[in-house]
């Protein structure tokens, strides 16, 4: 009877341990969400979002295989360094920040492909439209900082077509070149702190 109870207790503890999650928060002071889009077929306009939150959950503190990633971005915090352009980006021509105040990203899977390279498959929602996007992720390593906090770093990159999300601005030059290209390059640099 005692053996049976002991075995059952061990199984329960093993089960709890297998479902334990390590939680990480994106450090807003050392994380950036950047975008770049071609303008008039000549150069690139770059911008970022100033306000966001992000979490990562892992099975343990050393492996990011199958990590769960969840980010929420405040659309009204968009910044390209030009106030007039930022105002236009918040209108219905682009993000419509009043009606769709957040952009969200929720992971579907995160798989290691080689060395420090991963592929993050995630549902990206902009203007209430959700599309699945593959991000190429470079794992930059993990350290314990001078204050005793465990930190991990990542760089994730993807390209999306903004028209797929209802970002409908479509002015063209007389030559037919897009004033603002449909394709947008996204780079997310994350420094995550273990809770």
pTM recorded for the entire structure: 0.87
Q: What is the DSSP letter of 113?
A: E
Note the CATH number of domain 21-194: 2.40.128.110
Helix (H, G, I), strand (E, B) or coil at 124: strand
pLDDT, position 3: 53
pLDDT of residue 62: 80
Query: Measured between alpha carbons, how far is residue 87 from residues 75, 83, 94 in Å?
Result: 11, 6, 10
Residues 189, 106, 45, 89: is their CA dihedral positive or negative?
A: negative
List the chain domain ranges: 21-194
**How does pLDDT run along the chain (195 residues), one tens digit per residue?**
555 544 444 444 444 444 459 999 999 999 999 999 999 999 999 999 999 999 999 998 788 999 999 999 999 999 999 999 999 999 999 999 999 999 999 999 999 999 999 999 999 999 999 999 999 999 999 999 999 999 999 999 999 999 999 999 999 999 999 999 999 999 999 999 999
Tell me, what's the pLDDT at 61?
A: 79
d(CA 193, CA 142): 10
């Amino acid at each position: 009877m005692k053996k049976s109870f002991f075995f059952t207790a061990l199984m329960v503890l093993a089960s709890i341990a297998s479902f334990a999650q390590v939680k990480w928060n994106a450090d807003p002071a050392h994380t950036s969400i950047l975008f770049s889009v071609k303008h008039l077929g000549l150069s690139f306009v770059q911008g970022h979002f100033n306000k966001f939150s992000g979490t990562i959950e892992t099975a343990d503190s050393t492996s990011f295989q199958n990590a769960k990633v969840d980010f929420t971005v405040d659309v009204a915090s968009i910044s390209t360094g030009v106030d007039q352009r930022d105002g236009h980006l918040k209108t219905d021509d682009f993000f419509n920040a009043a009606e769709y105040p957040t952009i969200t990203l929720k992971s579907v899977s995160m798989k290691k492909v080689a060395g420090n390279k991963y592929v993050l498959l995630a549902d990206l929602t902009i203007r209430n439209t959700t599309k699945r996007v593959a991000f190429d992720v470079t794992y930059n390593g993990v350290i314990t900082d001078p204050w005793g906090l465990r930190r991990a770093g990542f760089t994730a990159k993807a390209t999306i077509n903004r028209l797929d999300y209802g970002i409908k601005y479509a002015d063209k030059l007389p030559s037919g070149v897009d004033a603002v290209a449909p394709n947008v390059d996204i780079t997310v640099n994350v420094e995550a702190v273990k809770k």
